């Protein structure tokens, strides 16, 4: 049976002590509210479905995100950590003042729609966010609730993010290099003063490796005798071995034989020493931007080199399984998002089929 007493401040405090459950208390403005809560809570305890909502009512989304970034995010790879901290800023701005208990599916859906419509910039003009951006923000929020319920012991009946529609994945990019653009791009990167820039771009075109995979390469990962590169850390956490074409082998041979390689690092593509004396991967953002200008490339990103390489593998006659083994795609659905065949390149094959 609950004990209900009036506090010196004029509110009513309900205290429930029941065998098998920790003492539970809550304060209300009226005695009737305290009695109603007591009856409802005792009934839930009898049925074994009671959830202590106090911590969820006291912990805000901002506090929960701060704890998540402190305890969970550091267990992930560095690139993911940077992305999660950025997503947490948007979530905190819009939802930070809500308690975990108060954050309903309706409020999360409103956040989704607001982000897709766009937040106002400094001039008051809305800047829409892409579907993928909002999907990743909602994924972080959903995992936050999962961790809070399963590991932090926060009493919540459900994850509100699981009850809303997620934005549809954005269409995969289909930007391909024309023959002329390819020649202009290679000429632009070859003319750069640092040959590592050219080796990285050519290596990406020949292997389909991600920028992070190429930038972090170590000498021990490159086996020129067997013509393969072993990737131990990848985006999907699945190690893979990338075979090298003759052109790729020559590119990485040049990189291995780099005459100015310092002895204190085993990075294949190395930058200048930092303030701590350590060398980190070679950064070429400015060189890439200038190379695109020199080559006259519009709407082209470094990651599009991976799209180009994967599409060329398919055009060369490799099977989906063979291409996936090289690129590291775990599903054929994702592989298709990266594969864009040029219709003009299929004309000759169609002629052969009809003969």
Residues involved in catalysis:
210, 235, 303, 306, 329, 338
Beta carbons of 302 and 204 less than 8 angstroms apart: yes
Reading the block at residue 172, the tokens are 């995969």
Number of H helices, E strands in the chain: 15, 10
DSSP notation for 272-338: EE-TTS-EEEPP-HHHHHHHHHHHT--S--TTHHHHHHHHHHHHTT--HHHHHHHH--SSHHHHHHH
Beta carbons of 322 and 309 less than 8 angstroms apart: no
Side-chain-side CA neighbours of residue 63 (13 Å): 13
Beta bridge partners of 281: 270
Q: How far is CA 257 from CA 149, 214, 261, 279, 318, in A?
A: 54, 16, 8, 18, 31
């Amino acid at each position: 049976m609950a004990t209900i007493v009036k506090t010196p401040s004029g509110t009513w405090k309900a205290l429930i002590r029941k065998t098998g459950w920790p003492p539970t208390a809550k304060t209300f403005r009226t005695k009737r509210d305290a009695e109603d809560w007591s009856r409802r809570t005792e009934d839930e305890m009898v049925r074994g479905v009671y959830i202590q909502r106090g911590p969820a009512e006291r912990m805000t989304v901002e506090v929960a995100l701060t704890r998540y970034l402190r305890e969970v995010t550091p267990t992930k790879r560095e690139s993911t950590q940077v992305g999660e901290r950025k997503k947490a800023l948007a979530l905190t701005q819009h939802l930070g003042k809500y308690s975990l208990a108060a954050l309903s599916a309706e409020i999360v859906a409103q956040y989704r729609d607001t982000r897709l419509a766009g937040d106002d910039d400094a001039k008051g003009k809305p800047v829409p966010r892409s579907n993928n951006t909002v999907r990743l923000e909602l994924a972080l929020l959903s995992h936050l609730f999962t961790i809070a319920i399963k590991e932090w012991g926060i009493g919540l009946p459900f994850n509100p993010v699981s009850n809303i529609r997620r934005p549809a994945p954005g269409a995969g990019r289909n930007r391909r290099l024309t023959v002329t653009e390819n020649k202009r791009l290679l000429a632009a990167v070859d003319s750069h003063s640092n040959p590592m820039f050219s080796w990285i771009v050519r290596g990406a075109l020949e292997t389909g490796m991600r920028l992070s995979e190429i930038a972090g390469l170590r000498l021990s990962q490159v086996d020129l005798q067997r013509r393969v590169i072993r990737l131990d850390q990848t985006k999907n956490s699945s190690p893979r071995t990338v075979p090298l074409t003759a052109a790729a082998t020559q590119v990485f041979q040049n990189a291995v034989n780099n005459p100015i390689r310092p002895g204190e690092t085993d990075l294949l593509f190395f930058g200048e020493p930092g303030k701590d004396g350590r060398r980190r991967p070679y950064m070429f953002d400015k060189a890439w931007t200038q190379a695109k200008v020199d080559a006259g490339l519009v709407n082209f990103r470094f990651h599009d080199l991976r799209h180009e390489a994967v599409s060329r593998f398919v055009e060369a006659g490799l099977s989906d399984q063979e291409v996936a083994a090289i690129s590291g795609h775990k599903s054929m659905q994702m592989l298709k998002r990266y594969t864009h065949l040029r219709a003009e390149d299929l004309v000759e094959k169609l002629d052969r089929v009809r003969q």
